[in-house]
Amino acid sequence: MDVKPGELRCPRCFKQDIAPSLPRGVVDAIMKMSRRVPRHCRACGNRFYVAEYKVRALSV
């Protein structure tokens, strides 16, 4: 599998069908403090956290 650095992929199924997930609960608050934002995979439904700088780099 060809995984390029900087690409946002689901850690479970490695697809790029990633959607923003709304922060909710205390875990997301803690994650936000460590600069991680929630995302979810539309392919397998996996919810995971991505380093904020990665998201910002990709959305420009």
Q: Residue 36: exposed, middle, or buried by beta-carbon count in 10 A (0-12, 13-18, 19+)?
A: middle
Amino acid at 10: C
User: Which one-letter DSSP state was computed for residue 23?
Assistant: -
10-18, 19-27, 29-37, 52-60 -> range binding Zn ion (CB under 5 A): 10-18
Contact flag: residue 8 with Zn ion (CB under 5 A): no
**Binding track over 15-54 against Zn ion, x by CB under 5 A:** --------------------------x-xx-x--------
Amino acid at 59: S
The residues binding Zn ion (CB under 5 A) are 10, 12-13, 41, 43-44, 46
